[in-house]
A and B are shown apart, each in its own frame.
Chain A
Amino acid sequence: MDRRSFLKATAAGAAVLGGARGLAAPALAQGAAARTLRFVPQANLANFDPIWGTQYVVRNASALVWDTLYGLDDKLEPRRQMVESEEQSDGGKTWTFRLRPGLKFHDGEPVLARDVVASLSRWMVRDGMGQMIRAIQDELVAVDDRTFRWRLKQPYPKMLLALGKTNTPMAFIMPERIARTDPFQQITEYVGSGPMRFVRNEWVPGAKAVFARFDQYVPRDEPPSWLAGGKRMLVDRIEWIVMPDPATASAALQNGEVDWWETPLTDLVPSLRRNRNLVVDIADPLGNIGSFRFNHLHPPFNDVRARRAVAMALSQEDYMRAVAGDDTSLWKASASFFTPGTPLYTEAGGEILKGRRDIEGAKRLLREAGYNGQPITVLVAQDQAPLKAMGEVTDALLKSLGMTVDFVATDWGTVGQRRASKAPPGQGGWHIFHTWHAGADCTNPATQIQIRANGDGAWFGWPKDDAVEAARDRWFEATTLEQEKAAVEQMNRELFRHVTYIPTGFYLGFQAWRRNVSGVVKGPIPFFWGVAKG
């Protein structure tokens, strides 16, 4: 019996017993305990600067503490959040924003336009869309306490999306004195204007983070919808309890020691479902997209024929079964670089990933590309379950094509370092690595750095293709949904023609909470507003 089987067996037994015992459980806790929500996050909150560090866990915690000017709703539309009104003038080149009245930071100071200007100035340095705006910016100034103006050299139709998007780094608003920190240095004060305050003296990185309700927060009147609408807190205190071991988190949830677990292991879900005190549901309908990333700088994958050979032999089903299991409601093959079920989704040009896999054709193409049996260095992070699974499928795939595989089993920290190396694979570089992208970040081209094909400026692998970049530019210029769809279709086609990288499929994950917790919604971030306990 391996460790994984042991965990499943233990959890299964625990679920049966936990469920049975739950029938005779005493009345729900009252008072302070009922006003405290205990949450197991996806990872450790090791730092707390959403601009400096762009891990999702930091963003998720930051969404409680810092507010944004706009917030994406569940239709993926940016809605006003801190902003009361906005106005475009000068042919779309000037934006004038007015803040809602009564906004306050946790230190009691009012939120002023100059705080916004400083915050956006810091954010722009680190964010892809921010950098685009910065490149065409004439000035960003506070006009009065509640008004700020952005004057650009040319129109930027995606302005509101940039200010309200969910992918990291989000445009969080901080007090000016904090926002003046170098974007490549960490802030040391955690004062926001969001619905919860960060209780710094209870923060034990790696173990616990605590948030207390900010009584002076003024929510919007609209009903909450993801990051938009009224963020009404129904609990006084939220404790993030870090649990590195999924079996422990599962047992703690079943035992009532925690209330909500953000990312239960798929293997443990059947046992959690058998417990009548628990609710298990999909965490984020936008899911994740697996990624097979090539290094375009070195043979054989500097030749499009070699990349195409791998694509025509690759089975997304194999990858998805390895990552998400045999429950086909949890994954789908998706010949797209974009998130299924979202307005811009397209499979245009994705034929290479569909139908019968052509191993012999792929071998021929590899020979034409000049592949001569040199070892293919595949970086595989063993400490990330989906990446380990994808790496093993890739190993088998490449071997089926007659390739020699140098399977580098390592940890994610090492992959993170080595993938940045442009050296030849035999000298510390690489040929292939895997990762995944949150579906929420793949709903449009703006929020995907991985689809850039601008050579040295591109993401790891440094692909270069002018047609891919031109299609991306077309999307940024689009002003209607139809134009956007046309641009994305073209982009999907060009990405597959160039085989910039290969999407290995779309898959979903779970979340679980105790039945006495209500108001949990599905989304790319755990949204705590509207969640009640007891």
Chain B
Amino acid sequence: MYAYVARRILATIPVMAVVALFVFSLLYIAPGDPAAVIAGDQATPEDVERIRQSLGLDRPYLVRFGAWLWDILRGDLGVSIFTNLPVSTMIAQRIEPTLSLMVVTLLFAVSVAVPMGVVAAWKQGTLIDRMVMAFAVLGFSVPVFVVGYLLAYVFALELDWLPVQGYTSFREGFGPWLENLVLPAIALGSVYIALIARITRATMLEVLQQDYIRTARAKGVGQRGILFLHALKNAAVPIVTVIGIGIALLIGGAVVTESVFAIPGLGRLTVDAILRRDYPVIQGVVLLFSFVYVLVNLAIDLIYTLLDPRIRY
């Protein structure tokens, strides 16, 4: 087991190297010029060129890639072209809101979606099942920003229960922290709930047809016991897989959610960096997200062993 974990962690190194190469190359060939953005509309072409040179953007691909890689190996993500701040500082400034949003969304989505899927499977073909499935279709179909605007309109502007925008650090209290995250978490979680609820329902339906469920019923196990002790535990592996895959969905959705609710997180940092062609920031954030995703996959693989004793590494 420990050897497996160590092997998997070591395997992240080539994965990250490929990601680094891919991201750097993609940005290199992508159109756009940070020097032109910095110089502004009134700058002459000569000014733009001078700025480009001062930023080292006129150097050949291999030289730039080598310098960047060398910095990465020394744990230095570089300095933002625009803010002149270290990328690691900018990420540190932004990581708490994004992590908070993702954790709250994850907890909220799983605690709502799994029971929904279980109940839908249990009540297959009934009105409840159809309502759950309709919600799932809606959750998939309605864009996050639309859900966000609607929530802000109803709960912030109409009812005045929650703020429209912003983020309050956890250090300033649990209440204010949560207050700012409720609406974004519901908006971002809507797709996620739909995904998990559908998978839970489908997997549960399959499990509920198994012989051991019939045996449990014959032995007189109650409905709750069958659903949550026998069926859900056996359906858990695909559900956990989807939850893990959905983390990528959350990362993507956070970009939109953070913009709609003006949360100063990594998603907005990424969008701003892309629009301005702030290459070091884009590279740093993408590397971070890739690393998180690799770790999440590892965590899921390890969770399998807890859910299914037959799985051993």
Given contacts A46-B276, A168-B40, A416-B33, contact A241 B83 (CB under 8 A): no
Complex interface residues of chain A between 365 and 418 (CB less than 8 A to chain B): 383, 410-414, 416-418
Residues of A within 8 A of B278 (CB): 46
Complex interface residues of chain A between 470 and 506 (CB less than 8 A to chain B): none
Chain A min CB distance to B273 (Å): 9
For residue A54, CB closer than 8 A to chain B, the reply is: yes
Give the size range of A's interface with the partner. 35 or more
> What's the Cα separation between A437 and B269 when bound, in Å?
28
For residue A10, CB closer than 8 A to chain B, the reply is: yes
In the complex, the answer to whether A207 meets B264 with C-beta atoms within 8 Å is: yes
Residues of B within 8 A of A419 (CB): 36
In the complex, the answer to whether A251 meets B32 with C-beta atoms within 8 Å is: no
Stretch at the interface among B161-169, B203-211, B216-224: B161-169
In the complex, the answer to whether A418 meets B31 with C-beta atoms within 8 Å is: yes
Residues of B within 8 A of A242 (CB): 262
Residues of A within 8 A of B43 (CB): 54, 449
> What's the Cα separation between A243 and B164 when bound, in Å?
11
In the complex, the answer to whether B149 meets A241 with C-beta atoms within 8 Å is: no
Residues of A within 8 A of B41 (CB): 54, 435, 437
In the complex, the answer to whether B31 meets A410 with C-beta atoms within 8 Å is: yes
In the complex, the answer to whether B153 meets A251 with C-beta atoms within 8 Å is: yes
For residue B125, CB closer than 8 A to chain A, the reply is: no
> What's the Cα separation between A21 and B82 when bound, in Å?
42
In the complex, the answer to whether A245 meets B40 with C-beta atoms within 8 Å is: no
> What's the Cα separation between A416 and B149 when bound, in Å?
32
In the complex, the answer to whether B264 meets A52 with C-beta atoms within 8 Å is: no
Residues of A within 8 A of B44 (CB): 449, 457, 459
In the complex, the answer to whether B165 meets A257 with C-beta atoms within 8 Å is: yes
Chain B min CB distance to A453 (Å): 14
A-B pair count, CB < 8 Å, reads: 154
Across the two chains, which residue of chain A brings its CB closest to B47?
Answer: A126
In the complex, the answer to whether A184 meets B50 with C-beta atoms within 8 Å is: yes
In the complex, the answer to whether A244 meets B33 with C-beta atoms within 8 Å is: no
Given contacts A207-B268, A247-B149, A449-B44, contact A413 B38 (CB under 8 A): no
Interface string of B262-288 (1 = CB under 8 A from A): 101000110110011110000000000
In the complex, the answer to whether B33 meets A420 with C-beta atoms within 8 Å is: yes
In the complex, the answer to whether A188 meets B84 with C-beta atoms within 8 Å is: yes
Q: Looking at the complex, which one of B45, B150, B152, B269 makes contact with A460 (CB distance below 8 Å)? A: B45
> What's the Cα separation between A207 and B272 when bound, in Å?
10
Complex interface residues of chain B between 285 and 312 (CB less than 8 A to chain A): none
7 interchain pairs, CB-CB under 8 A: A10-B149, A46-B276, A207-B268, A244-B268, A252-B165, A418-B31, A449-B44
Binding site for B on A (CB under 8 A): 3, 6-7, 10, 13-14, 17-18, 21, 44, 46-47, 52-56, 126, 128, 167-168, 182, 184-186, 188, 204-208, 241-245, 247-249, 251-252, 254-255, 257, 383, 410-414, 416-420, 435, 437, 441, 449, 457, 459-460
List 17 extra interface pairs beyond A168-B40, A413-B36, A460-B45, CB under 8 A: A6-B149, A17-B157, A52-B51, A53-B39, A53-B40, A204-B94, A207-B94, A207-B262, A248-B259, A251-B164, A251-B165, A252-B165, A257-B163, A412-B275, A414-B31, A416-B33, A420-B45
